[in-house]
Amino acid sequence: MSTYWTERAKTGKSRCSYGSCATLIAKGEIRIGRTYRSHPSRFWLKTDWYHVDCFVMMEKEFIERMVKQAREMANIMETKGGVYD
């Protein structure tokens, strides 16, 4: 379970967690935080920070990946003739 929020960066020290960006987020810039439990059996929480544009890119890639998987799965099922019979 993740919690998301937006805020202005309090310092310029946090790094964007979007893989192909990974640059520092400037102080005062609007950033999106995702807070989640770093390990299921542990209590402490971890926050990843993203530039707004990077967050959009990441979500876009995630959606595309899911849609691709869903389509591939549909194709397999179609080939097997199980689902649409």
| Shortest CB 49 distance to Zn ion, Å | 9
Residue 13, Ramachandran bin (φ over 0: left; ψ between -120 and 50: alpha; else beta): alpha
| Shortest CB 3 distance to Zn ion, Å | 20
Residues in contact with Zn ion by the rule CB under 5 A: 16, 18, 21, 51, 54
The residue (of 59 and 78) whose beta carbon lies closer to Zn ion is: 59
The residue (of 14 and 51) whose beta carbon lies closer to Zn ion is: 51
The values of phi and psi at residue 61, to 5°, are: -65, -40
